[in-house]
């Protein structure tokens, strides 16, 4: 980086140690560079004027031109305030200040013409301005200020210490000229030309002090592009390096296990999408590189089977495979499903989780090390050091984003040659996010559900219609169906979840109350209700889950422990209590627990009457569509990318100016252009790309080559 950019912010004229401390604390601005990248979040067009008679509450801000009235100090002590007014041809509006009276008295000139800028308030039917910005019309006209005025993020503390948006702007107006000639170009000449010829330096100048709307738009586009371009370039470069340096096991054969299973054991035809993805996987594993593939498929699209077929290919080539699931219940279920699929085949499958008994664990670990176990299924427990493989060739990871980066990296250590990695996620990721997050992975999409599935009918019911809902459940149960009732219980001691749930979660008591009221409404011996939550011991959980699976209970009252992957085809009704407390992707996951059998399935979203806008939008989206990708896009719009993926392990690069929702097209273009450049000049040796190469080196400094992958 250019040295001047690393200058501590306190040395900028007008800052000093105290304000610097404040800027560091409140805005994380430590250096000149940080200030330069502190972009305005909007602009106000100060060439547009309002008249006093036009004021209304819809206006976020109004700009008036008029004559300042006399200054008066009113009230006593706490209620003391300075008042005045502004008069234009259409009327007069009162002004009031609760602070700074002495300074204002000294500097304001009643009787002169002023430009006023501020937010109109309505009080007792009359409009007024509190603490408006005022500038003498004569000064304003000298055109020292841009007409398009940037507005910067500020905080109460900053404003109180005189570092509000306008003061920040002044700092930037000091800084930007200082940096003249010190902001080297980062793009190559043809990209700059493609961006309308806006140099980097010009872009910063315009963004912090725009001359006009056209120049501003071009500057913003240039800076957004640059941000997205280098993220893509970095990802693509990492992928390139990986392909160049990491040799993978070559799975040349598709042999007996795969064929025997495919021909004799598969109870149904694969969907077209499943076939396509299996083909992609086969190709990856046969080429000599290491597979790093993400398979996205909506709930119920049949990802397990795709994973199993990949594991059989590994076996045909003499390698072991591991299948990791995020929860114990899910691991058990995968084990059961896969064991059933493989019945009668000479494939040894074992389950290893945190609750595997010691003696059993020892046996499994010994067999695994001896190469006698072909597929091992389990949870995080599989990552422990004592889990040693004989010849690990493939890792299938279900529900990817629940695994931390570090955890995934531990898998690499378990084989001489890095295993192929297949990541499966049922939470469709919006296109833009996938490109940014997994730009270095290959992706496959299973975009087709097995035939014969009936779309789930989703309705929204208020707590008042509880009786009608119970009546409906009774009908369905009497037809032989089973019902899930899910509560948004937040586990104690899970601060991440607590903070995300905002208002705080429900208590275990809500769940047990729900269970009791269900048990009263659906009493023994005619009906049976079971309960499942994360704090039960494993044996009880297993017992309850098994009872429900076997159809011995009609209703399962549960927390989100049943969220992922649980498969009970006869369960056709999903009731979600306090649906407003769930995120969209979680609602979609939960709904995916039904609709797995031949019967028409239902999802009933229960909520109170009062809903916030976002909660309402989430529920409406669920009612409108079953399409996981559409739901993911909406989720991204509502929550923003950080929240969507969970902040800690999201791996989403911080975007300062670009926006993954609004700038889809630009992102697409940035990726295409980055690809094209790397295609022509893989090592960025061409002098034309010198800028790009230098900037990339700076940005990737300190990043491990395969930092984020599996």
**Residue 666: which H helix or E strand, with range?**
helix 664-680
589-608 residues near ligand ADP, rule: CB under 6 A: 596
From the list 67-75, 271-279, 554-562, 565-573, the region that binds Mg ion by CB under 5 A is: 565-573
Please give the Cα distance from 571 to 548 (Å, whole number): 9
- Sign of the four-CA dihedral 422, 428, 431, 437: negative
- Helix, strand, coil percent values for the chain (each to nearest 5): 45, 15, 40
* DSSP 8-state class, residue 418: P
DSSP secondary structure string, 373-385? -SEEEESGGGGST
Whether residue 8 contacts residue 20, with contact meaning beta carbons closer than 8 Å, is answered with yes
Using the minimum distance from each CB to Mg ion, give the nearer residue, 476 or 563.
563
Whether residue 40 contacts residue 202, with contact meaning beta carbons closer than 8 Å, is answered with no
Q: Among 188, 304, 320, 332, which residue sits at the site for ligand ADP (rule: CB under 6 A)? A: 304
Q: Is 40 in the site for Mg ion (CB under 5 A)?
A: no
**Beta-sheet pairing, 420-425 with 292-297:** parallel
User: Torsions phi, psi of 413, nearest 5?
Assistant: -75, -10
Please give the Cα distance from 331 to 565 (Å, whole number): 9
Nearest to 229 by CA among 706, 699, 705: 699
Q: Is 301 in the site for ligand ADP (CB under 6 A)?
A: yes
Nearest to 557 by CA among 597, 595, 510, 523: 510
Q: Is 275 in the site for ligand ADP (CB under 6 A)?
A: no
Least spacing, CB of residue 120 vs Mg ion, in Å: 55
Using the minimum distance from each CB to ligand ADP, give the nearer residue, 40 or 307.
307
Using the minimum distance from each CB to ligand ADP, give the nearer residue, 165 or 482.
482
From the list 80-88, 176-184, 215-223, 296-304, the region that binds ligand ADP by CB under 6 A is: 296-304
* DSSP 8-state class, residue 583: -
User: Torsions phi, psi of 83, nearest 5?
Assistant: -125, 160
Least spacing, CB of residue 322 vs ligand ADP, in Å: 17
Least spacing, CB of residue 449 vs Mg ion, in Å: 13
559-588 residues near ligand ADP, rule: CB under 6 A: 565, 567
- First-to-final CA distance of the chain: 31
Q: Is 302 in the site for Mg ion (CB under 5 A)?
A: no
- Sign of the four-CA dihedral 32, 34, 37, 42: negative
Please give the Cα distance from 436 to 113 (Å, whole number): 52
Q: Among 40, 210, 248, 297, which residue sits at the site for ligand ADP (rule: CB under 6 A)? A: 297
How many residues bind ligand ADP (CB under 6 A)? The answer is 17
Coil, helix or strand at residue 462: strand
Least spacing, CB of residue 426 vs Mg ion, in Å: 6
* DSSP 8-state class, residue 655: P
From the list 9-17, 302-310, 363-371, 480-488, the region that binds ligand ADP by CB under 6 A is: 302-310
Q: Which does 450 bind (CB under 5 to 8 A by kind): ligand ADP, Mg ion, none?
A: ligand ADP
User: Torsions phi, psi of 543, nearest 5?
Assistant: -60, -50
Q: Is 553 in the site for ligand ADP (CB under 6 A)?
A: no
Using the minimum distance from each CB to ligand ADP, give the nearer residue, 9 or 446.
446
Whether residue 387 contacts residue 411, with contact meaning beta carbons closer than 8 Å, is answered with no
Nearest to 310 by CA among 390, 224, 393: 393
Q: Is 439 in the site for Mg ion (CB under 5 A)?
A: no
User: Torsions phi, psi of 113, nearest 5?
Assistant: -85, 130
Binding characters for Mg ion, 405-424, by CB under 5 A (x = yes)? --------------------
Q: Is 565 in the site for Mg ion (CB under 5 A)?
A: yes
Q: Is 628 in the site for Mg ion (CB under 5 A)?
A: no
Least spacing, CB of residue 563 vs ligand ADP, in Å: 12
Residue number of the CB closest to ligand ADP reads 302
Residue 646 region by backbone torsions, left for phi larger than 0, else alpha for psi between -120 and 50, else beta: left
Please give the Cα distance from 150 to 42 (Å, whole number): 6
Q: Which does 11 bind (CB under 5 to 8 A by kind): Mg ion, ligand ADP, none?
A: none
Least spacing, CB of residue 450 vs ligand ADP, in Å: 3
From the list 109-117, 167-175, 558-566, 622-630, the region that binds Mg ion by CB under 5 A is: 558-566
Using the minimum distance from each CB to Mg ion, give the nearer residue, 514 or 565.
565
Q: Tokens for 569? A: 């085809």
Q: Which does 98 bind (CB under 5 to 8 A by kind): ligand ADP, Mg ion, none?
A: none
Using the minimum distance from each CB to ligand ADP, give the nearer residue, 278 or 666.
278
**Residue 160 burial by CB count (10 A; 0-12/13-18/19+): exposed, middle or buried?**
exposed
From the list 226-234, 437-445, 512-520, 557-565, the region that binds Mg ion by CB under 5 A is: 557-565
Cis ω for the linkage preceding 525 (within 30 of 0): yes
37-96 residues near ligand ADP, rule: CB under 6 A: none
Q: Which does 268 bind (CB under 5 to 8 A by kind): ligand ADP, Mg ion, none?
A: ligand ADP
From the list 46-54, 116-124, 131-139, 265-273, the region that binds ligand ADP by CB under 6 A is: 265-273
Using the minimum distance from each CB to ligand ADP, give the nearer residue, 424 or 441.
424
Using the minimum distance from each CB to ligand ADP, give the nearer residue, 248 or 592.
592
Q: Quote the strand ranges of 14-108, DSSP E.
A: 42-45, 62-68, 72-74, 81-88, 91-97
DSSP secondary structure string, 524-558? TTT--EEEE-TTS-HHHHHHHHHHHHTTS-SEEEE
Least spacing, CB of residue 596 vs ligand ADP, in Å: 6
Q: Is 345 in the site for ligand ADP (CB under 6 A)?
A: no
Using the minimum distance from each CB to ligand ADP, give the nearer residue, 301 or 572.
301
399-438 residues near ligand ADP, rule: CB under 6 A: 426
Using the minimum distance from each CB to Mg ion, give the nearer residue, 419 or 565.
565
Q: Among 98, 103, 123, 268, which residue sits at the site for ligand ADP (rule: CB under 6 A)? A: 268
Binding characters for Mg ion, 509-548, by CB under 5 A (x = yes)? ----------------------------------------
Q: Is 274 in the site for ligand ADP (CB under 6 A)?
A: yes
Please give the Cα distance from 99 to 81 (Å, whole number): 7
Q: Which does 280 bind (CB under 5 to 8 A by kind): ligand ADP, Mg ion, none?
A: none
Q: Which does 271 bind (CB under 5 to 8 A by kind): ligand ADP, Mg ion, none?
A: ligand ADP
Nearest to 522 by CA among 481, 487, 563, 462: 481
Least spacing, CB of residue 305 vs ligand ADP, in Å: 5
DSSP secondary structure string, 252-317? ----HHHHHIIIII-SSPPPHHHHHHHHHHHHHHHSSS--EEEEEE-TTS-HHHHHHHHHHHHHHT
**Tokens 């719009």 identify what position?**
637
Residue number of the CB closest to Mg ion reads 565
Least spacing, CB of residue 484 vs Mg ion, in Å: 17
Q: Among 210, 302, 418, 641, which residue sits at the site for ligand ADP (rule: CB under 6 A)? A: 302
Using the minimum distance from each CB to ligand ADP, give the nearer residue, 439 or 597.
597
Using the minimum distance from each CB to ligand ADP, give the nearer residue, 31 or 304.
304
Residues 6+ apart with CB under 8 A from 169: 149, 150, 152, 208
Taking CA atoms, 188 is separated from 173, 184, 191, 673, in Å, by 28, 11, 5, 11
Contacts to ligand ADP by CB under 6 A: 268, 270-271, 274, 297, 299-305, 426, 450, 565, 567, 596
Contacts to Mg ion by CB under 5 A: 565
């Amino acid at each position: 980086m250019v040295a001047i950019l690393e200058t501590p912010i306190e040395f900028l004229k007008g800052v000093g140690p105290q304000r610097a401390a404040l800027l560091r604390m409140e805005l994380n601005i430590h250096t000149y560079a940080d200030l330069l990248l502190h972009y305005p979040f909007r602009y106000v067009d100060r060439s547009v004027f309002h008249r006093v008679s036009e004021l209304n509450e819809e206006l976020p801000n109004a700009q008036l031109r008029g004559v300042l009235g006399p200054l008066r100090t009113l009230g006593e002590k706490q209620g003391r305030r300075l008042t005045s007014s502004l008069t234009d041809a259409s009327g007069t509006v009162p002004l009031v200040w609760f602070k700074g009276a002495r300074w204002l008295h000294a500097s304001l000139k009643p009787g002169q013409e002023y430009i006023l800028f501020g937010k109109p308030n309505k009080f007792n039917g009359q409009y007024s301005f509190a603490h408006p910005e005022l500038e003498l019309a004569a000064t304003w006209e000298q055109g020292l200020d841009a007409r398009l005025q940037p507005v910067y993020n500020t905080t109460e503390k900053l404003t109180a210490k005189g570092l509000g948006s306008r003061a920040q702007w002044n700092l930037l107006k000091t800084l930007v000229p200082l940096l003249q000639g010190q902001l080297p170009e980062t793009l190559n000449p043809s990209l700059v030309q493609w961006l309308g010829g806006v140099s980097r330096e010009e872009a910063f100048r315009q963004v912090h002090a725009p001359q006009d709307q056209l120049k501003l738009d071009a500057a913003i586009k240039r800076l957004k592009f640059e941000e997205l371009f280098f993220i893509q370039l970095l990802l693509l470069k990492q992928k390139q390096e990986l392909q160049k340096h990491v040799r993978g096991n070559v799975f040349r054969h598709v042999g007996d296990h795969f064929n025997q299973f495919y021909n004799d054991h598969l109870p149904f035809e694969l969907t077209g999408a499943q076939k396509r993805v299996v083909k992609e996987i086969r190709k990856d594993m046969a080429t000599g590189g290491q597979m790093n593939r993400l398979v996205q498929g909506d709930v119920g699209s049949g990802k397990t089977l795709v994973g199993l077929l990949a594991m059989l290919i590994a076996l045909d080539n003499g390698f072991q495979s591991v299948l990791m699931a995020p929860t114990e219940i899910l691991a058990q279920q995968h084990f059961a499903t896969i064991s059933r699929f493989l019945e009668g085949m000479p494939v040894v499958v074992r389950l290893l989780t945190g609750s595997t008994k010691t003696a059993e664990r020892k046996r499994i670990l010994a067999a695994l090390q001896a190469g006698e176990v072909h597929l091992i299924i389990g949870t995080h427990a599989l990552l422990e050091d004592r889990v040693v493989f004989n010849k690990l060739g493939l890792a299938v990871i279900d529900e990817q984003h629940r695994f931390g980066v570090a955890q995934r990296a531990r898998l690499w250590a378990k084989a001489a040659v890095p295993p192929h990695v297949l990541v499966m996620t049922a939470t469709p990721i919006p296109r833009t996010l996938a490109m940014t997050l997994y730009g270095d992975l290959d992706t496959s999409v299973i975009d087709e559900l097995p035939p014969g599935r009936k779309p789930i009918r989703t309705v929204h019911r208020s707590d008042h219609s509880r009786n009608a809902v119970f009546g409906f459940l009774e009908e369905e149960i009497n037809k032989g169906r089973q019902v899930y009732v899910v509560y948004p219980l937040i586990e104690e001691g899970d601060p991440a979840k607590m903070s995300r749930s905002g208002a705080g979660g429900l208590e275990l008591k809500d769940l047990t109350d729900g269970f009791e009221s269900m048990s009263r409404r659906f009493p023994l011996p005619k009906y049976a209700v079971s309960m499942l939550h994360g704090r039960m011991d494993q044996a009880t959980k297993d017992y309850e889950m098994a009872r429900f699976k076997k159809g011995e209970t009609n209703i399962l009252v549960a927390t989100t422990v049943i969220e992922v992957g649980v498969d009970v085809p006869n369960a056709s009704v999903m009731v979600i209590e306090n649906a407003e407390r769930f995120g969209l992707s979680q609602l979609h996951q939960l709904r995916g627990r039904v609709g797995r059998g031949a019967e028409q399935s239902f999802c009933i979203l229960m909520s109170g009457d009062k809903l916030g806008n976002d909660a309402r939008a989430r529920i409406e989206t669920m009612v409108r569509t079953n399409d996981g990708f559409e739901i993911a896009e909406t989720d991204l719009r509502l929550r923003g990318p950080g929240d969507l993926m969970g902040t800690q392990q999201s791996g989403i690069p911080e975007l300062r100016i670009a926006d993954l929702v609004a700038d889809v097209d630009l992102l697409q273009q940035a990726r295409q252009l980055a690809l094209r450049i790397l295609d022509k000049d893989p090592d960025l040796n061409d002098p034309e790309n010198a800028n790009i190469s230098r900037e990339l080196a700076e940005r990737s400094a300190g990043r491990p080559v395969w930092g984020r992958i599996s």
